[in-house]
């Protein structure tokens, strides 16, 4: 597969995963095949909304489906998808940890207080107004 086609495929793949409901659907079927009704019940979302997201995941070959009587069952096409999702979760928590370290570094020293930027700006305005009135 030429590089441009691979980049396009990856972009389309991640675009298909770009909605939180679709990620929730994938988590719902993580333990195995689930019916559309079970997925809908798990997510607490209307049938038409779930159906729309299931169709997108199925059309991108992320989910596979099978019919049994009146029910349609869905499962992940390839379980390696969950490795990708777990890596992204780890990436998220690593980034969150870095942000937390930065925020902790910004905490005021004992006895020092943080100044709200809005409060600080209005205080500067007050001082400017008082200075102009002198």
Residues 57 and 93 both lie in one domain: no
Residues 73 and 89 both lie in one domain: no
User: What pLDDT is attached to residue 59?
Assistant: 95
Residues 49 and 92 both lie in one domain: no
Average confidence (pLDDT) per 10 residues, the chain, 134 residues: 88 93 96 96 93 96 96 96 93 85 80 62 53 48
Residues 74 and 90 both lie in one domain: no
Token digits of residue 6:
């691979």
Residues 89 and 67 both lie in one domain: no
Residues 68 and 98 both lie in one domain: no
Domain CATH code at residue 24: 1.10.10.10
Which pTM value belongs to this model?
0.70
User: What pLDDT is attached to residue 116?
Assistant: 59
User: 120 lies in which domain range?
Assistant: 81-133
Residues 59 and 41 both lie in one domain: yes
Residues 10 and 74 both lie in one domain: yes
Summarize the chain as % helix, strand, coil (round to 5): 65, 10, 25
CA–CA dist 67, 62 (Å, integer): 17
């Amino acid at each position: 597969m030429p590089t441009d086609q691979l980049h396009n495929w990856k972009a389309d793949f991640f675009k298909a995963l770009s909605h939180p409901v679709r990620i929730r659907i994938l988590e719902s079927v993580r333990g195995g095949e689930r019916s559309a009704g079970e997925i809908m019940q798990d997510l607490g979302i209307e049938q038409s909304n779930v159906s729309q997201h299931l169709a997108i995941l199925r059309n991108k070959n992320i989910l596979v489906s099978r019919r049994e009587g009146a029910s349609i069952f869905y499962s992940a096409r390839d379980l390696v998808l969950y490795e990708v999702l777990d890596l992204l979760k780890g990436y998220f928590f690593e980034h969150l940890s870095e942000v937390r370290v930065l925020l902790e570094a910004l905490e005021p020293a004992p006895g020092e207080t943080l100044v709200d930027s809005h409060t600080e700006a209005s205080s500067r305005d007050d001082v400017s107004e008082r200075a102009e009135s002198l």
